[in-house]
Amino acid sequence: MNAALTISPATPADACAIADIYAHHVLHGVATFEIVPPDVREMAGRMSSLLDAGSPWLVARDDGGEILGYAYAGQLGPRAAFRFACEDSIYLRHDRLGQGIGRALLAALIEAAGASGFRQMVALIAAVAGAYPASLALHARAGFAACGKLESVGRKHGQWIDVHYLQRVLGEGDRTPPSQEP
């Protein structure tokens, strides 16, 4: 990993770079089931919604300030009972894979999500049926445990896509009740 890598909270000014990174994954990958990349305005709105809810959205920058990837965690579901569970998402620039950026972002996101009050983090990892993507290994190294798989539930780029479910405790998890019930 580049020693000059910095991770910080995303700002509205980051929406353009984030939209560009995500567009590549929408058009060429299977990590997202979207097939039309959202424009900068839509991405800025998604960022604003999560940040306004107190959820973390982070960016990784090189020493020149260029965004190399981003990660965020949002409430797992819309109902109040999901308040303490989040789902993570991590996207890297396609030309910066395998450099430790994802590992650094995930570690920072785990910490930020716990600080935001989340007690569980869930990862939904899409993969071509039968494949083992790097995201599975990344999450396993970060303490996530496999808790299920939906086979061939998506179809993109002429391939069936599986969705792997992984989960990790944040902070005290379910050992103690929250300070306030939903």
85-92 vs 120-128, strand pairing mode? parallel
Q: What is the pLDDT of residue 6?
A: 98
Query: HEC profile for the chain?
Result: CCCCCEEEECCHHHHHHHHHHHHHHHHHCCCCCCCCCCCHHHHHHHHHHHHHCCCCEEEEECCCCCEEEEEEEEECCCCHHHCCEEEEEEEECHHHCCCCHHHHHHHHHHHHHHHCCCCEEEEEEEEECCCCCHHHHHHHHCCCEEEEEEEEEEEECCEEEEEEEEEEECCCCCCCCCCCCC
pLDDT value at 1 more than 90: no
Q: How confident is the model at residue 133 (pLDDT cuts 50, 70, 90)?
A: confident
pTM score of the predicted model: 0.95
Average pLDDT, the chain: 95
Range in 29-33, 46-50, 56-60, 128-132 with the lowest mean pLDDT:
128-132
* Cβ atoms of residues 21 and 91 within 8 Å: yes
Q: How confident is the model at residue 3 (pLDDT cuts 50, 70, 90)?
A: low
Domains parsed from the chain with CATH numbers: 6-169 (3.40.630.30)
Q: How confident is the model at residue 37 (pLDDT cuts 50, 70, 90)?
A: very high
